[in-house]
């Protein structure tokens, strides 16, 4: 008897996760499951609970570093049609957790709905963006979320209103709740103005950060209160430092770029070096923004 008896159609063993992350690093998932609807997702969670299997939800892997040994548990991928739909009802937009966030932002521009254009250039799925309250200099997603639909670890569906999500800087209090859909409340605006704002923010990011096509996971560390991780790592002279085939970006010191042949270990070691040097120089303890599985 296997934990996934009867779920063979949606469950595979030993699936390389490097193909699913921006870093394209790391080993396999012991199990990789693609539920086709909420019912199947609830079933998967119940079985993980029963069999005491660790699980993670994978979006587009834009903020995740998978260790070289892989992940010894169940990776849940919400990529089916039931989880990727987007629709509009007036100023409200509903998007599945697996929907592509940058595409959603562009669709909102086409609908002349303002708000999310401030998040231009943030990669990932809707679920990932919500879960970590993604954002940048021009705001965070929390400002535009009305509610999220979640499945809890017991497989129960619930709605969490914005005030119940516990949004703080790059964090939510969702815990083991899996986002399956988000509802955004946006503001009607002028199409040209919104588009110009989107393009200006996009260009600014392009000029100050490594290319979005490059192998990074965005910012490695959260900004500490009152300062910037990028500024602190730059100030200790680490820009351009290489370890194996990974490098602290020469463009922005809070990014670690992976080159061909890099291992997840190379990235982890460089992040540790940056953390140690910044602590030695300033006493500030940097905290990871990326998720290391």
Judge whether 293 and 66 are in contact, CB under 8 Å. yes
206 binds ligand EPU (CB under 6 A): no
123 binds ligand EPU (CB under 6 A): no
Looking at the Cβ atoms of 106 and 239, the one nearer to ligand EPU is 239
Residue span binding ligand EPU (CB under 6 A) among the ranges 4-12, 25-33, 52-60, 223-231: 223-231
Minimum CB distance to ligand EPU, residue 273 (Å): 15
228-233 CB contacts, 8 Å cutoff, 24+ apart: 228/254, 229/253, 229/254, 229/278, 229/286, 229/289, 230/254, 232/278, 232/281, 232/282, 232/284, 232/286, 233/274, 233/277, 233/278
Residue span binding ligand EPU (CB under 6 A) among the ranges 22-30, 51-59, 171-179, 224-232: 224-232
Which of 3, 111, 202, 228 lies at the binding interface for ligand EPU (CB under 6 A)? 228
202 binds ligand EPU (CB under 6 A): no
The dihedral sign for the CA sequence 72, 288, 274, 122: positive
205 binds ligand EPU (CB under 6 A): yes
Residue 86 CA from chain centroid, whole number = 18
137 binds ligand EPU (CB under 6 A): yes
Residue span binding ligand EPU (CB under 6 A) among the ranges 10-18, 227-235, 266-274, 276-284: 227-235
Q: Which residues bind ligand EPU (CB under 6 A)?
A: 136-137, 205, 208, 218-219, 222-223, 228-231, 234, 239, 252-254, 289
């Amino acid at each position: 008897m296997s934990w996934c008896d009867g779920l063979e159609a949606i469950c595979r063993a030993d699936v390389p996760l490097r193909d699913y992350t921006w870093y394209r690093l790391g080993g396999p998932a012991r199990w990789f499951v693609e539920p086709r609807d909420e019912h199947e997702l609830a079933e998967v969670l119940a079985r993980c609970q029963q069999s005491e299997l660790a699980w993670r939800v994978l979006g587009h892997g834009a903020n995740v570093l998978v260790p070289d040994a892989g992940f010894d548990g169940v990776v849940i991928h919400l990529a089916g049609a039931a989880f990727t739909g987007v629709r509009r009802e007036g100023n409200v937009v509903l998007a599945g957790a697996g929907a592509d966030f940058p595409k959603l932002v562009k669709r909102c521009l086409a609908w002349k709905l303002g708000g999310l254009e401030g998040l231009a250039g943030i990669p990932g799925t809707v679920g990932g963006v919500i879960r970590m309250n993604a954002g940048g200099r021009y705001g965070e997603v929390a400002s535009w979320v009305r509610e999220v639909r979640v499945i809890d670890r017991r497989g129960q569906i619930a709605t969490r209103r914005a005030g119940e999500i516990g949004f703080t800087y790059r964090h939510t209090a969702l815990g083991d709740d899996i986002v399956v859909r988000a509802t955004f409340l946006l503001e009607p605006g002028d199409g040209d103005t919104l588009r110009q704002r989107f393009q200006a923010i996009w260009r600014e990011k392009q000029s100050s950060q490594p290319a979005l096509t490059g192998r990074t996971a965005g910012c490695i560390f959260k900004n500490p209160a009152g300062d910037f991780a990028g500024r602190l790592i730059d100030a200790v002279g680490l820009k351009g430092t290489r370890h194996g085939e990974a490098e602290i970006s020469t463009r922005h010191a809070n990014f670690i770029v992976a080159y061909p042949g890099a291992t997840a270990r190379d990235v982890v070691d460089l992040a540790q070096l940056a953390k140690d040097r910044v602590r030695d120089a300033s006493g500030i303890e940097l905290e990871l923004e990326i998720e290391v599985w």
